[in-house]
Chain A
Amino acid sequence: MSRRPGFVLEVDKSTPPTLFWNGEGFTVETLPEGSRVIYAPEPMKALDDPYGAIRHALLNPLGDRDPLPALLFAGMKLTICFDDVSLPLPPMEAPDIRQMVIETVLDMAADAGVDDVMLVAALALHRRMTEDELRHALGHRVYDAFAPHGLLTQHDAEDPENLIHLGQTDGGEDIEINKRAATSDLLIYVNINLVAMDGGHKSVATGLASYRSLRHHHNPQTMQHSKSFMDAPASELHSSNWRMGRFIAEAGVKIFQIETTLNTDTFPKSFEFLQKREWEWNLRDRASYAASSAALGKAPPRLARQIFHSIKSPHAMTSVQAGEVEAVHAVTTENVWAQQGVDVTGQTDILTLGLPYICPYNVNSIMNPILVACLGLGYFFNLYRGRPLVREGGVLILRHPTRPEFHPGHHPSYIDFYEQVLTETVDPVRISKEFEESFATDPWYIHLYRTGHAYHGVHPFYMWYWCAHALEHLGRVIIVGGDPKAVRRLGFSPASSLNDALEIASDVVGPSPTLTHLHAPPIMMADVH
């Protein structure tokens, strides 16, 4: 049976209520007649033989790169870097793509007699992965072969001994990246390209960089000029990473890029209804929805969180390409759009989103209010190419409990950002000027980042900057069902129901607005004409 593409439904009298994610739960809402609902394309067919496809990609590289075996030789220094726990979402069922790719690469390295191999988790300023997370990403065989010997490391952006400053781009951007990776004979980077902005030069220029480098593009100005992150030619974030990436290549760092794409088969059988169109729900889907939403509604948030974070996604690899960074990324981006792209005609006055329990920065953790803002305004709002789904001055309505809860071990600086920065201002530019440096250089945050499992002190700032484009574009942001105090702290308006939210929105967009609901996840990207 052929795969159905993405679809824009116009709500009429016969349309059943629409599913909205609501953190660690979900609900259904009856949307006004004439509203649009955007559904993701159905999952592409998975590769029949992923190991074979990986091997084929390594032997048939794209762009100006020799096949991988030709780049491997005895006595060389080889560093294999890989995406961290923030990808994919939700974490995938074993075997993880990183495991499959790295096992194949290691087989080739072994055949070539390469002894000096180091694995590096490309954390940038993210938290260090736990042993369980590393074992899941790499498989027990790889973990046990490398970790006990200190050959499996995690990038430490605060380790002066293992950073190298390669210079500055023409734009004055500092390039300071992982020394081991930069000084290797070959740097292999293994990507999971969940969305179009993943991969490319961003892999090394961001994933292996220090704060000194990252601050050049992780700032309000860059984010405000990235329209959107998913649309490379219109993204200043992309441009900056590309300048840096080309500089790194010219500096002599030899990169062999491996990129992979996934289908949108996001949830296991028990939650299959979450990715189906509501009018196609069968009896079992309806029963699953009723039972799970009732149970989750009664479960304490902590238990509901545990249940959801134990989900392993069945999404499968749809493509793998390897070789020179830009050549690889061009094909990858096409493949991502082929899976996730949906044609949408015209913008809307109101965009509604149900936010799920997970974003890249709370895997096995808590979705705190700052991450709620980032997921809604930084990620989902930016899932477009061309024009934003919602018109300038329009309203974004999110659904999420937005509890003022934080994981102190993972997000220590987020707590202080929430209590000590957002109480002063929500303006990203002012926040950047007045507060960023003191958080970025705070020795306690640095200590926790380096020795524990904490995001870097500056990370909540970056999350807020991700919202900068949306904050500038939107007339109002409303969160339905959120903790009112927390929602106000973010600078948004709380609403107890969707109807209340529409009432509040009418002050901005008038009494008869157009409304569009993005039925995500599964992840999709709107090509707005």
Chain B
Amino acid sequence: MSTLLFERSLPRFAAARIASSFGSGRGAGVGPLRLLDHEAPALPGDGWVHIDPLLSGICGSDLATLDGRSSRYFEDIVSFPFVPGHEVVGLLTDDGVAADGRALPAGTRVVLQPVLGCAARGIEPPCAACAAGHVGNCERVAFGHIRPGLQTGYCADTGGGWSTSGLVAHASQLFPVPEGLSDADAVTVEPVACAVHAVLGAGIRDDDVVAVLGAGTLGLTVIAALTHLASTGRCPTPRVVLVGAKYAHQQRLARAFGATEALPPIQLPRAVRRSSQSLSFGGDPGETVTLSGGADVVLDCVGSAESIAQSLAMVRPRGSVALVGMPGKVTVDLAPLWHREVRLAGAYAYGTESDPAAGSARAGRAAGSAGPVKAAGSAPAVKVGGRKGAAAPPKEISTFELSFEVVAAQKTGSLVSATYPLARFEEAVAHAGSAGRRGAVKIAFDIAKGRTR
């Protein structure tokens, strides 16, 4: 049985950091990640089951970890050695129970909700966040009967998706995959859930100008989620969604998922300025540096110092910036944030969302009705949903349930550009690190078949 194990090793960590300075993902071969024969972890307790992964994605946070670029903040909420891989679709090897209480027979195809909250940790009573359904905000990720780990894939006791020997998961983490979804679709459910959570928490209102910075997996899934959620009445409908996408294939996909405009990041402030009819100051005459007004909401799906600074320069006073991409230690001038009273908030993981469409007439439109946020050109979007006329109070709904809807409607499995067997992990990680440049989006390990495509 093969497993990619990430061990605590300062020399290897340093080597990865040096290698990754030549490009993200270059350090997989010299870093703390090693391919070993490794047995599946033991079940930590009741309610846990074994999963045999089918596909397991490589996420931006995985890359940051392998590159040695992760924030030291995480050191105390992970445990070593761990098996990475938190974007997982797999098969149950035992009978189990889903997060919603349904019985799941062995062999059921499931997607893992990787956050290890109070339920998984056997903590009773649960923390306030878990009790409210916001498992992503669990206050006990370093406690309980399993070792620290904010998610499966960062915990020494659970294993992870990058393993043929399987991983263990708690019932609270299991979501069965509907028949119609392919494995590729299913492996995108987790990143799409992050996008759904980010979109619903960003404070978007009807007719807003929304800017999305970055069009890797996160940026594209944010656009896909926003389009679907707006068209089904789950969130307000922005007037325009402008996307800064570095590469041509990203621009094409962004438009296909419903972006009004997708253009190189350097041009995004000009597009935001035009859509928001702002003025601009700073720089030479005619240059767009800091907008006087700007976007109502910016979703930063990059998380670098540059992207945060650009987000703050593009957002209007009292607007919102959502940090969707995982940042590290960055140096950013926060004077514009202070002066313009901008709200800067993180957008991590998932949990439970308010669903204004549930119980109302709009609920009937929910399934499979994704359409572009905006029809074409620069004309205002056609509003399908909206807050007005809601017939029933919002109902709580799992972020993953919404994510399944988005995945089905937008066919986000198309974002899986290449798969690799575990044995070729160095190539896989290098491919993921240069995905944009190489015309790819999501790279995954094909654990079940070891296929390369």
> Which residues of A does B touch, CB under 8 Å?
407-412, 415-416, 419-420, 423-424, 434-435, 438-439, 442-444, 447-448, 452-454
Instruction: Evaluate whether A444 and B280 lie within 8 angstroms (CB atoms) in the complex, with A408-B287, A415-B270, A419-B270 already known.
Output: yes
Q: Mark B438-450, 1 if CB is under 8 A from A, else 0.
A: 0000000000000
> Which residues of B does A touch, CB under 8 Å?
261, 263, 267, 270-271, 273-274, 277-280, 284-287, 377-379
Name the A residues within 8 Å of B379 (CB-CB). 434
Nearest residue (CB) in A for B270 is A416
Q: Cβ of A452 and Cβ of B285 under 8 Å apart?
A: yes
- Identify 11 residue pairs between A and B in the complex whose beta-carbon atoms are under 8 Å apart, listed by A's number: A408-B285, A411-B286, A412-B285, A412-B286, A416-B274, A419-B271, A435-B377, A443-B278, A444-B279, A447-B279, A454-B286
Nearest residue (CB) in B for A441 is B277
A420 to chain B, nearest CB (A): 6
Instruction: Evaluate whether A409 and B286 lie within 8 angstroms (CB atoms) in the complex, with A416-B270, A434-B379 already known.
Output: yes
Q: Cβ of B277 and Cβ of A442 under 8 Å apart?
A: yes
Q: Cβ of B286 and Cβ of A420 under 8 Å apart?
A: no
Q: Cβ of B285 and Cβ of A442 under 8 Å apart?
A: no
Q: Cβ of A448 and Cβ of B267 under 8 Å apart?
A: no
Q: Cβ of B287 and Cβ of A420 under 8 Å apart?
A: no
Q: Cβ of A434 and Cβ of B378 under 8 Å apart?
A: yes
B318 to chain A, nearest CB (A): 19
> Can you add 11 more A-B contacts, CB < 8 Å, to A408-B284, A409-B284, A443-B277?
A412-B285, A412-B286, A420-B261, A438-B378, A443-B279, A444-B273, A444-B279, A447-B279, A452-B285, A453-B285, A454-B286
CA distance A424 to B271 in the complex (A): 13
Q: Name the one of B261, B263, B274 contacting A442, with C-beta atoms under 8 angstroms.
A: B274
Q: Cβ of B263 and Cβ of A452 under 8 Å apart?
A: no
Name the B residues within 8 Å of A452 (CB-CB). 285-286
A456 to chain B, nearest CB (A): 13
Q: Cβ of B284 and Cβ of A444 under 8 Å apart?
A: no
A128 to chain B, nearest CB (A): 11
B362 to chain A, nearest CB (A): 30
Nearest residue (CB) in B for A434 is B377
CA distance A438 to B274 in the complex (A): 8
CA distance A447 to B379 in the complex (A): 24
Name the B residues within 8 Å of A407 (CB-CB). 286
CA distance A434 to B375 in the complex (A): 13
Name the B residues within 8 Å of A415 (CB-CB). 270, 286
Nearest residue (CB) in A for B267 is A419
Q: Cβ of B285 and Cβ of A444 under 8 Å apart?
A: no
Nearest residue (CB) in B for A421 is B378
Q: Name the one of B270, B273, B279, B377 contacting A424, with C-beta atoms under 8 angstroms.
A: B377
CA distance A452 to B283 in the complex (A): 13
A314 to chain B, nearest CB (A): 33
CA distance A442 to B292 in the complex (A): 13
CA distance A408 to B263 in the complex (A): 18
Q: Which 8 A-B pairs have the closest CB atoms?
A: A408-B286, A412-B286, A409-B285, A409-B286, A452-B285, A434-B377, A444-B279, A408-B287
Name the B residues within 8 Å of A442 (CB-CB). 274, 277
A432 to chain B, nearest CB (A): 12
Name the A residues within 8 Å of B271 (CB-CB). 416, 419-420
CA distance A529 to B442 in the complex (A): 63
Name the A residues within 8 Å of B263 (CB-CB). 419-420, 423
Name the B residues within 8 Å of A434 (CB-CB). 377-379
Nearest residue (CB) in B for A448 is B286
Name the B residues within 8 Å of A439 (CB-CB). 274
CA distance A435 to B260 in the complex (A): 14
B253 to chain A, nearest CB (A): 16
Nearest residue (CB) in A for B271 is A420
A457 to chain B, nearest CB (A): 9
Q: Cβ of B285 and Cβ of A448 under 8 Å apart?
A: yes
Name the B residues within 8 Å of A416 (CB-CB). 270-271, 274
Name the B residues within 8 Å of A411 (CB-CB). 286
A374 to chain B, nearest CB (A): 19
Q: Which of A407, A420, A424, A439: most chain B Cβ within 10 A? A: A420
Name the A residues within 8 Å of B287 (CB-CB). 408
Name the B residues within 8 Å of A443 (CB-CB). 277-279
Name the A residues within 8 Å of B285 (CB-CB). 408-409, 412, 448, 452-454
Name the A residues within 8 Å of B277 (CB-CB). 442-444
B269 to chain A, nearest CB (A): 11
Q: Cβ of B378 and Cβ of A444 under 8 Å apart?
A: no
CA distance A409 to B284 in the complex (A): 7
A443 to chain B, nearest CB (A): 6
CA distance A472 to B25 in the complex (A): 51
A175 to chain B, nearest CB (A): 28
Nearest residue (CB) in A for B280 is A444
CA distance A408 to B284 in the complex (A): 8
Nearest residue (CB) in A for B273 is A444
Name the A residues within 8 Å of B280 (CB-CB). 444
B116 to chain A, nearest CB (A): 45
Nearest residue (CB) in B for A452 is B285
CA distance A148 to B267 in the complex (A): 40
CA distance A218 to B273 in the complex (A): 26
Name the A residues within 8 Å of B279 (CB-CB). 443-444, 447
CA distance A424 to B286 in the complex (A): 23
CA distance A408 to B270 in the complex (A): 12
CA distance A448 to B278 in the complex (A): 12
B379 to chain A, nearest CB (A): 7
B79 to chain A, nearest CB (A): 48
CA distance A416 to B278 in the complex (A): 14
